[in-house]
Structure formats: structure tokens, C-alpha cells
Structure 1
Amino acid sequence: MRRAGAEEHTEGVSPNYVVVPQWQGSVSPRAMRLVDGAEAIQGDLPSSVTYPVDVPVEAGDSLDTGIHRFSSLLTVRDRQLAVLRTSTEPVLTIGGDCGVSFGAVEHASRRHPGEVALVWFDAHPDLHTSESSQSGGFGGMVLRAILGEGVDGLALGPDERLTADRVVLAGVRDIDPAEDVYITEQGIPLVPVESFGTPDAIVAAVKRTGAAHVYLHIDLDVLDPATIVGLSNIYPFGLAVENLTAAIVALRAEFTLAGATIAGFAPSSPEAASDDLPSILRIIGALTR
């Protein structure tokens, strides 16, 4: 049975696009390429509904938080929220690193309080805290921050944070020991890559959350690197584009889309970006058609 409000979304939505070329949340040696990736995607978006967020050039300071470039991340969050607040339409956020989902999910949660499930399509669960992280990169902490655990300014408060029973990990396959303990303790479901032959498993997992709306975080490293080359982090044995788009379409048929993120595009050159963009545009099409 379709949920209330889902049917109109299967007929297509007209989202606003918010482009956040943030690189400061990544510790990848390819981090600066994330700026180029966001700008490459922006070039194929309709300019009339695309809103860029100004990201500081400087790296920023940790301010003794244990989070690299913390001060710049705070600045980006504030600027991103200022842009998001002007939108009355569903928003597709284009990163940048995974940290851009922090402000995007915060905005979606405020619009639909207590009604949002979050599907985390990613090779990594991003469930570290500043204490457990060996890298200090916020991109590896962002989901834990969305769940309300983290440093003031980069942890959602009681009115916006999601609860672990509203999260589904999808395609995650590189889990650190501290994250594994947290996932087990919280009972967060994980739908592995091998379950994506059909979308049934991911749809069933989201139905079990009881949520009416779904937010889709898509780090492109959830895809197999044979499918897309321009990744800031590369981890093998991921999803095919066809499996990812089929899952997106099936989820949109059952739930109202609260928003989505595409992050992690880090092409090595404009020519390399052109090779990967058709796959990314197929994902955007699945989110909007």
C-alpha cells in the first residue's frame, strides 16, 4: 500500500538544487577535487532552481574539538541553512563531502518533525564521534551528528535529531570496530549490496521504521568503482547504478521524498567528469522524474 502523498512523487517532482562544494569534511587526498565535482554537476542542473552555497577557501581550525576544519564547517552549515530556509520545495543537495547532509537533514527534519526516515547509501556508516575517529574528518562523523551525538554546533538538537530506529544503512561495507559496536547496540539495520538484486529489502527496511517521509543520502562511493571512477574514497564491491536507481524509484513509490543528497564526486579532470556525469544524471533523474 502506498503511503499518503507518495503517488504524486512517482509522477515527478520539481526540486530546488542546493550546491555545497564543501571539501573541509573530507580527509581524502582527493578532497579538493570535491569542489570540482560539485561544480561539474551544477553545470548540468537547471540554473533557475539551482542555488550555490559559498564555501570558505580556507581550511579552518579545529578549535580543540577533535574535528578537523571545524570553524569552516560551522560557517558552511550556517550558510547552507540560510539557503535551505528559502525553499518550499523538496531539495536535492549536491556536495561536496558527506558532511553536507548534516544541514540538509536538519532542514528536512524541521519541515517534517518526527516523520523522516534516513536511508544512508554509502560505503561507510559515518558513525564515528570525535573521540572514536582516528582521522578527525567530519565526513566520518556526520550520521552520528545527525543522531544528536557530537560537538556543539555540529550535532543536531532534540527537536531536529533523528533516532537510530529511523536509520537504514544501505550498501555499507567498510565499517570500523567502534562503528560496528554502535550499530549492534542501536540495532540499526543494514541492507547489504548483495540484497539489491531487487528493491524489496530496502523498501521493507524503511517500512519497518514507520516513517511517512524518507531522506536519501547518496555518497557515490556506494557504487562500485568500476561503475564510476571519480570518487573521493574508493572501496570495491559496491552497487551498480541500475540497482541504486531501481531502489530510489521503489522508495519514492512508497514514501514521500523529504530530500536527498548526492556527495563524494571527485573527478580528476574535466574529461574524467564528463565520463562519470551520465551515471550521476541517471541518479538525479531517479530522484526527480
Structure 2
Amino acid sequence: MPATFVVVPQWQGSVSARAMSHADGAAAILGDLPSASTVAVEVPVEAGESLGTGVLRYSTLVRVRDLTAAALDRVPDWALTVGGDCGASLAAVGHASARAAGDLAVLWLDAHPDLNTPETSPSGGFGGMTLRAIVGEGAAGLALDPETRIAPERLVLGGIRAIDDEERRFIDEHDVTTLTVEDLSDPSVVIAALEATGASQVFVHIDLDVLDPAALAGLSYPMPFGIGATELVALARAVVARFPIAGAAIAGFAPASPQAAEDDLPTILRLVGALTSGAAEPG
């Protein structure tokens, strides 16, 4: 079955000066998705409170996770989740993991590993903790449970180039597979890394800041020396041709204006097309 698009205009996980632009970015993408196969999650307008967790806007983030999970439960097959900030991928990975009965690898394409904890995060922003929550560690309500969490050996990180000390410690301790931007330009390298996890299904997370800023203007955390748009589209197509996709996500679109969003949308829609292009069937 074709993908269902679940749009989550969450901005509360970002601490960027352009955090609220993530909601505008999600809305811009929503306008170009087929309405018959698209579900929009109504994100609360309030920022939310940390409630002593060390996670900024924690109360709203938990609410959005619950709302997203409920929307995903109604998806007939697999979902392409559109954020919002990276925190929108939390419920999406949980849904995909349950759908794959735990037989899932996560390809995390991002300039940042997002592996901090509430205790180690330099900012308190949940976006930088999302993947750590996906492996089951973090604040209550924002960490996947033992049935759906992803083991570190099932992670493949690609394009990361801004790593905090705790994130480096976690990567080294668990021998997490990391691929350079140059590696991403050769899909066979990425496919081999995913095959080495032993999982038969894949979740693909794309934070748009994995792209070089020259390829996309609407980035809240632009990082130089990223992958080009053509190479990223080719990689996405290769991965979905090789593996059954249990889920995918695109996050991090924070346009400066409606006109700027229009300029960036063709690149984003090429990625949407690549992720939904003839996905392999489970074997």
C-alpha cells in the first residue's frame, strides 16, 4: 500500500531562534501533499512547561507524542511523518518498530546525532535528545518502551558533523555505526551498513540539515559541508529499493518566509517522492 502522510507541525522541540518556523515549514509541505492520504496532527499552541525534567516544553511534547501516536495508529500501512522539529520522529519510530515487530534498523540522516539526555543536553531542547529517547533513554513519556525501543547496534548515523561530548561517548561506548557525508554519496556503503545491523526493515529519518546549506535555505541549524540534494535523493531511492520501509520522516524545515518556503519546496518534494518510490515488500 502507498504511504500515508502524517504532518506534525511541532516546533516545541527546537531551541533555534527560528523554532516556530518549523510549524510554518510543515504547513508549507502539507499544502503539496495529497489530501486523501494525509493526516494533520493538531499541535497545541502553548509552549509547555519543563516540569523539572530538564526538557524544555516537556508537557506539550508529551501531548504531541500522544496525539501523533494516535494518528499513526489509524494508518493502514506505513507512514511518512513530516515535522516539525526532529522530535516528531519519536512516535513515528515507535509506530514503525511495532509494525516491524522489532525487526527494524534506523537510518538517521542528520547533521547532529541527537543523542543527548536531559542531564547532558547543553540546551534542554528535545530535538537534540530524540534519538536517545528512541533507544529508550530519557524523560518519562519521551522514551520508547522496551517493546519498541531501538538497540544502538540497529542505528546507522549518516552525515553527522556536530557532536557533543556525551553523544561521542555514547557512540563510542556502543560502537554505533557512523557514516560521513562522503559515504552518503555512495548508496552501496549505506546499504552495506544497514545490512550489517541484521534488520530486514528500515526507518529513514531525514533532518534537512544533513543537506549542505547551499541546497536548502530553510534550515534552523545550517551546517556547512553537507550532502547535496541530488545525492540525498539518490540515496533515499536506493534504500527504499533495497529494504522494506516500515516508516520514514522528514524534519527540520524552518523557512524564513512563505516565499522562501516556495523556493525550497521542490527539493523537499523530490525527497518525498524518493522515499515513497516503489518501496520493497517485506520478505
Q: With structure 1 as the length reference, what TM-score do the two structures score?
A: 0.95
Quick one: distance in 2 between partners of 1:112 and 1:197?
28
Matched ranges for 1:114-125 at <5 A: 114-125=102-113
> Of 62, 85, 91, which residue of structure 1 is paired with 2:50?
62
The residue identity in structure 2 corresponding to 1:119 is: L
> Of 89, 92, 104, which residue of structure 1 is paired with 2:77?
89
Give the match for residue 207 of structure 1.
Answer: 195
Give the match for residue 111 of structure 1.
Answer: 99
Quick one: distance in 1 between partners of 2:62 and 2:166?
25
Is the partner of 1:284 in helix, strand or coil?
helix
How far residue 246 of structure 1 moved from its aligned partner, in angstroms, is: 1.2
Q: Percent identity?
A: 56
> Of 71, 85, 88, which residue of structure 1 is paired with 2:59?
71
> 1:129-188: per-residue Cα shift (whole Å, max 9, x none)?
000001000000000000001111001111010100000001111111111111000000
The residue identity in structure 2 corresponding to 1:174 is: A
The residue identity in structure 1 corresponding to 2:179 is: V
Quick one: distance in 2 between partners of 1:15 and 1:194?
29
Give the match for residue 4 of structure 1.
Answer: none
Matched ranges for 1:9-20 at <5 A: 14-20=2-8
The residue identity in structure 1 corresponding to 2:129 is: M
> Of 157, 162, 165, which residue of structure 1 is paired with 2:153?
165
Aligned residues: CA RMSD = 0.8
Quick one: distance in 1 between partners of 2:11 and 2:154?
28
Matched ranges for 1:1-289 at <5 A: 14-289=2-277
Question: Across the two proteins, how many residue pairs are aligned to each other?
Answer: 277
- Of 165-174 and 246-255, deviating more is 246-255
Deviation beyond 4 Å, 4+ runs, structure 1: none
> 1:220-257: per-residue Cα shift (whole Å, max 9, x none)?
00000000000111111001011111111111121100
Q: With structure 2 as the length reference, what TM-score do the two structures score?
A: 0.97
Quick one: distance in 1 between partners of 2:61 and 2:192?
35
Is the partner of 2:86 in helix, strand or coil?
coil
How far residue 197 of structure 1 moved from its aligned partner, in angstroms, is: 3.0
Higher relative contact order (CA 8 A, sep 6+): 1
Quick one: distance in 2 between partners of 1:140 and 1:51?
26
Quick one: distance in 2 between partners of 1:146 and 1:178?
16
How far residue 114 of structure 1 moved from its aligned partner, in angstroms, is: 1.9
The residue identity in structure 2 corresponding to 1:283 is: L
How far residue 275 of structure 1 moved from its aligned partner, in angstroms, is: 0.5
Structure 1 stretches lacking a partner, 5+ long: 1-12
Structure 2 stretches lacking a partner, 5+ long: 278-283
Give the match for residue 7 of structure 1.
Answer: none
The residue identity in structure 2 corresponding to 1:224 is: D
Q: Contact (CA 8 Å) 2:185, 2:232: kept in 1 or not?
A: no
